[in-house]
Amino acid sequence: MTDDDDFFLQEMQGVKKIQQTKKVDLSQPHSATEAQRLRQQSATSEQASINPNHLQDYAIERVQPHEELGYRCHGIQENVFRRLRQGKNPIDARLDLHRMTIEKARELVFSFINDCVRYDLRTVLIMPGKGDRNTEDPALLKSHLIHWLPQLADVLAYHTAHPKDGGAGAMYVLLRKSGRKKEQDRQHF
């Protein structure tokens, strides 16, 4: 025995084993009743039907109706963002949100962006309007839109459009390439 073993045995003298109490049997019953199976199926189907739209519509920072806005995620090159900001990218699709409720616009933006990515569209135009006619709650939809866009992983950048495309009431949005498009580009170059 080593000195460590002797020391351990010396320190453990007088220690008694803890008495164990009875344990609860937590094992599953061998056969679930029909009611239990139905409850389990119902819970599973409820989870599958949960709305995948994760866009939040609370605690947004409000913007002014004529404010020029821009955003780019980390890693987007300055020249790519400049082309978007200058309106030099061809617009592949448009979404007009004028006079829509916040909830309806939220649903449409989510599905529109997903559809655009699925069809390999890169630059799109979303038109929430300036919101300057609503004196009680100006730029409400525009404020929500710029809050939602960074929440979408497929949105790389956005910027206020030029007057020819809608000005302060529209946004150029740059979308991520789909995996299929990236592979095509790799093969091409």
Domain that holds residue 139: 70-188
- Domain-embedded: residue 25: no
CATH of the domain at 87: 3.30.1370.110
175, pLDDT greater than 60: yes
73, pLDDT greater than 70: yes
Question: Tokens standing for 130?
Answer: 């300036």
The lowest-confidence range among 11-15, 157-161, 181-185 is: 181-185
Query: 56 or 4, which is more confident?
Result: 4
- Domain-embedded: residue 133: yes
42, pLDDT greater than 70: no
Buried b (16+ CB within 10 A) or exposed e, 1-21: eeeeeeeeeeeeeeeeeeeee
pLDDT in tens, 49-64: 555 676 766 667 888 8
State mean pLDDT over 82-96: 96
Strands of the sheet containing 70-72, edge to edge, are 70-72, 155-160, 171-175, 123-127, 93-96
> Residue 127 forms beta bridges with which residues?
96
Can you give the pLDDT at residue 30? 54
Look at strands 123-127 and 70-72 and give their pairing: unpaired
State mean pLDDT over 130-157: 88
- Domain-embedded: residue 144: yes
48, pLDDT greater than 50: no
Q: Which of 4-8, 23-27, 40-44, 84-88 has the highest mean pLDDT?
A: 84-88
Phi/psi of residue 127, each to 5°?
A: -115, 95
Can you give the pLDDT at residue 23? 72
Q: Where are the beta strands (DSSP E) in 97-162?
A: 123-127, 155-160
State mean pLDDT over 39-49: 57
Domain count, the chain: 1
The lowest-confidence range among 7-11, 74-78, 96-100, 134-138 is: 134-138
User: At 163, is the pLDDT very low, low, confident or very high (cuts 50, 70, 90)?
Assistant: very high
- Domain-embedded: residue 156: yes
Q: What does DSSP assign to residue 176?
A: P
- Domain-embedded: residue 57: no
> Residue 160 forms beta bridges with which residues?
171
The residue with tokens 């061809």 is: 90
Nearest partner of 121 among 189, 181, 188, judged by Cα: 181
- Domain-embedded: residue 76: yes
Residue 106: count other Cβ atoms within 10 Å of its Cβ: 20
Residue 145: count other Cβ atoms within 10 Å of its Cβ: 28
Query: 118 or 45, which is more confident?
Result: 118
State mean pLDDT over 74-84: 94
> Residue 175 forms beta bridges with which residues?
155
